[in-house]
Amino acid sequence: MSEALFSAIGLDPPGRAGYRLAQLEVFNWGTFDRRVWRLLAQGETTLLTGDIGSGKSTLVDALTTLLLPANKISYNKAAGADTKERTLRSYVEGHYKSESVESTGSSRPVGLRDRSSYSVVLGVFVNEGYDETVTVAQVFHQKETTGQPDRFYVTSTKNLSVEADFTDFGADLTALRARLRAGGATLFNHGEFPKYATQVRRLLGIRSEQALELFHQTVSMKSVGNLNEFVRSHMLEPVDATDRIRGIVEHFENLTKAHDAVRRARDQLEALMPLVATADRYDAALERRTAAEGQRNAVRLFVAELRARLLAAEIDRHEADRAVAVAEATTVGARRDQLTLAREALVDARARAGGNRVNELEREAGDARQQAEERRVRRVGFDDRVVRAGLAPVTDLTGFAALAAQLAEGRQGLERATADLDDRLADDRTGAGAGNGRSRRPAR
């Protein structure tokens, strides 16, 4: 074995080193119903006794459920029962008896709990030598009438308990999840048991999965048939010498192939020596071509510098032309300013000669067009309200006068109806006051 089943623990710290079970708590697990049931082991060797059916195997199965996947657990194995007698669902629903179904002639289990409840299994492990505590827990909820219950897994380096940390959270398990995460616990979803198992082994210092396999085989064992076979199968790490021998043979064959490849490469190098001389001549020719290319590139730089000087002279000439054009633009701008002043003088002269009347007429025409548009919009709104009121459209002055009389008559009718309703409401209030069982006498 390359590693021990459990991590090595030093003996220097005071107290007992290594994680031991301090307490096991179950809530709504099997026939342990409605309240928290607690087994205090305190890290000692604990003897669990009781009558048949008192729940000894139920507690052992709870501890097994905390450490092993459900598909590997044989529930109620400690009692020597059939593997199908109890399941994870039977523990969560609290099956305690069976009843016959008259319509089918079969039997069905009867549980203490329905789908509105939840179950918790919690174990606290303490390493006294290092003053460390690890809590592992699982929360179950049977959502469907068939199949296995839904669950999530919890690990923490604090001392948790069912009563303090897994109750009084409401009706939604999401609130419980949020509270546990806020308290520093690590949660794993239903399908993440491998991650949960890895975290448990890391926290408890279990380096090998073989240790949990050994625990699975021995936790409820009645007898051992062949001790040698048991130790070989469950306590020793599996070793396959056939694979090692096959690997050695393959390695030797690879070395032989490598030696042959080296000899073949040496022969090939000797045959390629003339090619090496040719390659040297090619490298020399390549150097000469590189030098010629460098000279050609230098010619390109000379031509570029000459072109830059010529372009600089041309730019200077254009700058001079631009200065002349700017001067001409300044002269034209001054002429434009003079013409603008003359235009303003002509406008003032026209105004003094009666030209303001034209502007006034233009303004009055604009006001008239705006007023006409406003009246058209009001007319459209008026026609729309008349149609929505269920009245005939108005197209002339006579129709408008008739509409006013019709609206006045309708208004009087509504006022009479409102008065009748007010009288009825007053009568109803008077009757309610007279029927409240109290009478008032006039003061003398």
The tokens of 299 are what?
A: 């010619």
Q: Does residue 345 form part of some domain?
A: yes
Residues 227 and 247 grouped into a single domain:
no
Helix (H, G, I), strand (E, B) or coil at 116: coil
Residues 110 and 195 grouped into a single domain:
yes
Q: What average pLDDT does range 38-60 have in this prediction?
A: 88
Does pLDDT of 11 surpass 60?
no
Of 254, 271, 288, the domain-final residue: 271
Q: Does residue 67 form part of some domain?
A: yes
pLDDT at 225: 63
DSSP state letter for 149:
P
Q: What average pLDDT does range 28-46 have in this prediction?
A: 90
CB 63 within 8 A of CB 123: yes
- Mean pLDDT of the chain, nearest integer: 83
The tokens of 204 are what?
A: 């408890």
Q: Does residue 216 form part of some domain?
A: yes
Bridge partners, 270 (sequence order): none
Residues 150 and 120 grouped into a single domain:
yes
- CA torsion sign for 91, 94, 98, 104 is negative
* CATH number of the domain residue 62 falls in: 3.40.50.300
Distance CA 211, CA 213 (A): 5
Closest CA to 74 of 264, 235, 276, 220: 220
Query: What is the total count of domains within the chain?
Result: 3
Q: How many residues make up the chain in this entry?
A: 444
Distance CA 116, CA 149 (A): 12
Residues 195 and 99 grouped into a single domain:
yes
- CA torsion sign for 321, 326, 331, 332 is positive
pLDDT at 3: 45
CB 205 within 8 A of CB 10: no
Residues 211 and 313 grouped into a single domain:
no
From residue 421, alpha-carbon distances to 86, 170, 190, 410, 425 in Å are: 74, 51, 66, 17, 6
Distance CA 98, CA 115 (A): 18
Q: Does residue 293 form part of some domain?
A: no
Of 249, 271, 293, the domain-final residue: 271
Residues 67 and 95 grouped into a single domain:
yes
Residues 155 and 173 grouped into a single domain:
yes
Residues 312 and 265 grouped into a single domain:
no
Residues 260 and 227 grouped into a single domain:
no
Residues 215 and 312 grouped into a single domain:
no
Q: Name the percent of the chain lying above pLDDT 90.
A: 28
Q: Report pLDDT digits (tens) over 89-123.
A: 889 889 888 888 777 777 888 888 888 889 999 99
Residues 259 and 352 grouped into a single domain:
no
Q: Report pLDDT digits (tens) over 143-201.
A: 887 778 999 999 999 999 999 999 988 878 899 999 999 999 999 998 899 999 999 99
Distance CA 186, CA 424 (A): 69
Q: Does residue 98 form part of some domain?
A: yes
pLDDT at 272: 86
Domain of 332, in residue numbers? 303-394
pLDDT at 157: 94
| CA geometry: angle 165, 166, 171, nearest 5 deg | 130
Of 349, 377, 394, the domain-final residue: 394
pLDDT at 220: 58
| CA geometry: angle 217, 218, 221, nearest 5 deg | 100
Q: Does residue 7 form part of some domain?
A: no
Residues 199 and 331 grouped into a single domain:
no
